[in-house]
Amino acid sequence: MRVLTRGDVLELLTLRDCIVAVEDAFRLHAEGRTLGPGVLAVPAEGGGFHVKAAGLVGERSYFAAKTNANFPDNARRYGLPTIQGTVVLADARTGELLAVMDSGSVTALRTGAATAVAAKFLARPDARSATIVGCGVQGEIQLGAIAAVLPLQRAWVLDTDHARAEGLAARAQANLGIRVEAGKDLRSALRGSDVCVTCTHRAVHSCPVTTSPRAPSSPPSVPTIVGSRSSSPRWWRRRPSWSTCSSSARRSVSSSTSSPPGS
């Protein structure tokens, strides 16, 4: 059995590799080649715990169970990460325990990768601009993820803490080689964006937003994962939420991968 720390995971798994793996996993799930996923949630004061388990069936089959603690105020109150936990990997035919690894790093990369796959299939292929709402750890990963699958040239990043948005804008512009601006007007940013990703905590409802100029006019909505400024964009009406980044992308891609990729 192997034990992988956060540093081990980040050294071994790049964001681009994770995007490929997540796309493959979605495709296998659509083809019925996965073990039925299970989810368990346990609320706690100031946060909660959740367990997600599933598996892949193939030449060698695997089972994985992720136990995550999610406490949004950890950084402010204790100097700890919001997400902490473990992933247990086992052989799905024999039950042999293969590895235990840090889940925070896996969760961060997988969440960004799921959005990238959703953007790859649901946004316009020539999408060149994006808005990221929420400039924490996940916001930075989300921008890097969609930049990996779309020809982005410009992005806006927004946060209730404008200094944090400015920090992300500077880092992302240097790392990604695109123009990144720390914005204050979400409505204006969305008007100029082909893609929007929100990664804020459930308690955050920063500003009412209607659709972009070419989107359906009724009713008002907030795109949670991917919007495309085309004649028939797809919009989601869920509340902005850090946790819905992965779930919305998962639903979106599950439907898109029922057809051959690219169709």
Q: Half-sphere exposure of residue 59, counting CA atoms within 13 Å on the CB side?
A: 0
Cβ-in-10-Å burial (0-12, 13-18, 19+) of 128 comes to: middle
CA 215 – CA 192 distance, rounded (Å): 13
CA R_g for the chain:
18
CA 104 – CA 102 distance, rounded (Å): 6
From 52, 66, 120, 184, the catalytic residue: 66
- 62-70/47-56 β-pairing: antiparallel
Single-letter amino acid code for the residue at 218: S
184 among known catalytic residues: no
Residue 219, preceding peptide bond in cis (omega within 30° of 0): yes
Catalytic positions, please? 66
